[in-house]
């Protein structure tokens, strides 16, 4: 919290500020590492049956991830919804749509078939 105020003081006083102190945003590599760490953590929780939330929440998170173009997260969220509610036709259909978007026709077809078997009707 004090860092921006200290930088303003140093700039007003005419003191040279090191380049790394002037950096407004974190380095892209650290952001990528952070996102990769979060993804790994979520997948570990999912694999151990500790994914937080209910199936509907996971479906909604998957839909948001899909809308923002984070297809891997969308697949993980839909998979979590399916694990929480194995007969969740909407989750199978949505995951199939993501696989189709990523070009994995075989997995998409499997999920679409399972969704249909569970009674999914396209809106």
Cα–Cα distance, 45 to 39 (Å, whole number): 10
Integer angstrom CA distances of residue 105 from 45, 84, 108, 110, 114? 27, 25, 5, 9, 14
Tell me the whole-structure pTM to 2 decimals.
Answer: 0.58
Domains assigned to the chain? 28-117 (1.25.40.10)
Tens digit of pLDDT at every position of the chain (123 positions): 344 444 444 444 455 545 555 555 555 667 777 676 666 666 656 555 554 469 999 999 999 999 999 999 999 999 999 999 999 999 999 999 999 999 999 999 999 999 999 999 886
pLDDT score recorded for residue 5: 41
Closest CA to 60 of 41, 76, 77, 72: 77
Residue 41, pLDDT score: 63
């Amino acid at each position: 919290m004090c860092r921006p105020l200290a930088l303003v003081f140093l700039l007003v006083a005419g003191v040279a500020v090191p380049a790394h102190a002037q950096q407004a945003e974190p380095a892209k590599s650290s952001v990528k590492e952070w996102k990769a760490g979060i993804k790994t953590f979520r997948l570990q929780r999912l694999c151990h049956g500790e994914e937080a939330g209910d199936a509907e929440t996971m479906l909604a998170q998957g839909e948001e991830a899909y809308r923002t173009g984070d297809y891997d997260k969308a697949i993980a969220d839909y998979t979590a919804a399916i694990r929480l509610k194995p007969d969740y036709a909407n989750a199978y259909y949505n995951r199939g749509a993501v696989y189709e978007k990523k070009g994995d026709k075989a997995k998409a077809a499997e999920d679409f078939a399972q969704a249909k078997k569970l009674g999914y009707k396209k809106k």
